[in-house]
Amino acid sequence: MYIPFNKPYISGNELAYIEDAVAKGKISGNGYYTQKCQAFFEEQFQFHKVLLTTSCTDALEMAALLLDIQEGDEVIMPSYTFVSTANAFVLRGAKVIFADSREDHPGIDENSIVSLITPKTKAIVVVHYAGVACDMDTIMEVAKVHDLFVVEDAAQAVQSYYKGKPLGGIGHLAAFSFHETKNIQCGEGGMLVINDERFAERAEIIWEKGTNRSAFFRGEIDKYGWVDIGSSFLPSELNAAYLFAQLEQMEDIQEKRIQLCNRYKDELSGWAKAKGISLPVIPEFASQNGHMFYLLCKDIEQRSAIISHLKSKDILSVFHYLSLHKSPFFADKHDGRELPESDRYTNTLLRLPLYYELNPERVIESLLDYDG
C-alpha cells in the first residue's frame, strides 16, 4: 500500500461546525468561528492579538504593510525558507539580505545577523524551521540594540516553545500557517499575531480592506469608511469552522506527531550513524512540536538514492527549499556571499512521511534495508 508524504487529518467535528456556520447565516469573515479561533490562541498562548488570515503568506504580507516597509529598506532573513517569507517584503520594494543557517539546525544563524545590518535595515524575519525555535534572546537583543523589528515566520511552529515561551509570542509580529501540510490545518489558512500593541489597531484596518469596519461592528464608531491601505485578508467562516474543530483536538494531534518523531529517531539512530546520516537536533533552548522529521544525508547522491529506494517500496519522501539566494528570481540580486549551510540543507535534507494516521513501521523497515 502506498504511503504518501502527508495526509490531512480530520479530527471529527469539521463538517458539523461547517454546517453550523452555514446555519448561522453568516459565512463571510470575522464571524462566530473566526472569533472562537482567535480567542483560542489569545487565551492558550497569551498572544496579545490574533487575526485569522487566508494563509501564512497573507499574514506575512500584512506584517510587511504594518512595518511600513518602503522601497530600498533592507530585511534580513534566512535563505533556507519558503518563498513567501521573502515575497511578502519584496512586494513592498524591500531589498532582502539573506543570512545563513546554523550548523546544527536550518534556523537562521543568530551570530551572522549583526554583520548584515546597515543603516537601511528595518527588520529581521526568523523562521522556526520544523517548529524548532531560533535563538530568540540573541535575536531580540540584536534587534533592540539596532532598533529593528522582528517578525517570526512561525508557519510550522504551532504550540512550540523557546525557553518555555510560546513561539509566535516573542517578535513584534508573527505569522502562522494552517495549510493542509501543517500540524493544525484547514486546507488554506493562517493567522497574524500582533504582540506589539502599537500595531493592533492598524492591523485590523489593513485586514478589513483599509476600512475601520471592525471598530464599527464593535460599536466604537457610528460609520465606517476608507481610512488606510489594506486588502482582503479574512478567511471565510467555513474555513474558520473547520479550523476550530482542529483546535479542539490540538493536544492529541501534537502528541501523536511528537510520538511519531520520537519513534523515527529511536529506531533510525543506529542505522543513520552507520550511513553517515544525521538526524534532527533540537537545541537546548527549543521544544519540538512534531511538525517534521528529516534526515540530513551525506550528500545529494545519497539523498537521491534513498528517495528512489523508498519510492520502489511505494513510499513518498520529499526534499524542499532550494536556497533562495540561488533561485532563478533572486540569483542576480544576491550580493555574492556564500551561504554554505543553506546550500548543505538544500542538498541533503530529506523529509520522511509524517501524519496523524501514519504507521511508520514500513518506512522504518524500508530505510533499515537501504544498503547504499
Ligand X SMILES: *Cc1c(COP(=O)(O)O)cnc(C)c1O
Taking the complex as a whole, the smallest distance from the CB of residue 183 to ligand X amounts, in Å, to 11
Nearer to ligand X, 63 or 272 (CB): 63
21 vs 11: CA distance, rounded Å: 17
Count Cβ atoms within 10 A of the Cβ of residue 369 and give its class: 0-12 exposed, 13-18 middle, 19 or more buried: exposed
Taking the complex as a whole, the smallest distance from the CB of residue 366 to ligand X amounts, in Å, to 26
Judged by CB under 6 A, which stretch of 136-144, 148-156, 164-172, 363-371 contacts ligand X? 148-156
Spatial contact of 162 and 133, defined as CB atoms under 8 Å apart: yes
179 binds ligand X (CB under 6 A): yes
Among 17, 41, 47, 82, binds ligand X (CB under 6 A): 82
Taking the complex as a whole, the smallest distance from the CB of residue 336 to ligand X amounts, in Å, to 25
Total site size for ligand X, rule CB under 6 A: 14
Nearer to ligand X, 216 or 355 (CB): 355
- What residues form DSSP beta bridges with 255? none
Nearer to ligand X, 60 or 69 (CB): 60
183 binds ligand X (CB under 6 A): no
Taking the complex as a whole, the smallest distance from the CB of residue 55 to ligand X amounts, in Å, to 3
Among 74, 100, 152, 153, binds ligand X (CB under 6 A): 153
85 binds ligand X (CB under 6 A): yes
Judged by CB under 6 A, which stretch of 79-87, 92-100, 292-300, 358-366 contacts ligand X? 79-87
76 vs 74: CA distance, rounded Å: 7
Nearer to ligand X, 206 or 367 (CB): 206
Spatial contact of 97 and 76, defined as CB atoms under 8 Å apart: yes
246 binds ligand X (CB under 6 A): no
In the sheet with 74-78, reading across from the earlier edge strand, the strands are 49-53, 190-194, 173-177, 149-153, 121-127, 74-78, 95-99
Judged by CB under 6 A, which stretch of 17-25, 54-62, 198-206, 271-279 contacts ligand X? 54-62
Judged by CB under 6 A, which stretch of 1-9, 77-85, 234-242, 346-354 contacts ligand X? 77-85
357 vs 372: CA distance, rounded Å: 29
Spell out a b/e string for 305-336, using b for 16 or more CB atoms within 10 Å of the CB, else e. Answer: ebbebbeeeebbbebebbbbbeeeebeeebee
Taking the complex as a whole, the smallest distance from the CB of residue 218 to ligand X amounts, in Å, to 28
Which is it for strands 74-78 and 121-127: parallel, antiparallel or unpaired? parallel
239 binds ligand X (CB under 6 A): no
- For every residue of 30-55, DSSP letters joined together read SSHHHHHHHHHHHHHH--SEEEEES-
Nearer to ligand X, 57 or 214 (CB): 57
134 binds ligand X (CB under 6 A): no
Q: Tell me the CA end-to-end span of the chain in Å, nearest whole number.
A: 24
Judged by CB under 6 A, which stretch of 51-59, 66-74, 219-227, 267-275 contacts ligand X? 51-59
Which is it for strands 49-53 and 190-194: parallel, antiparallel or unpaired? antiparallel
Helix-strand-coil split of the chain, %, nearest 5: 40, 15, 45
156 binds ligand X (CB under 6 A): yes
Task: Name residue 237's amino acid.
Answer: E
Nearer to ligand X, 56 or 339 (CB): 56
Nearer to ligand X, 31 or 107 (CB): 107
Among 21, 63, 155, 247, binds ligand X (CB under 6 A): 155
CB-side exposure of 168: number of CA atoms within 13 Å? 29
Among 37, 56, 64, 186, binds ligand X (CB under 6 A): 56
- Give the torsion sign (CA, 340, 280, 193, 7): positive
291 binds ligand X (CB under 6 A): no
Applying CB under 6 A, the residues found at the interface with ligand X are 55-57, 81-82, 84-85, 127, 153, 155-156, 177, 179, 190
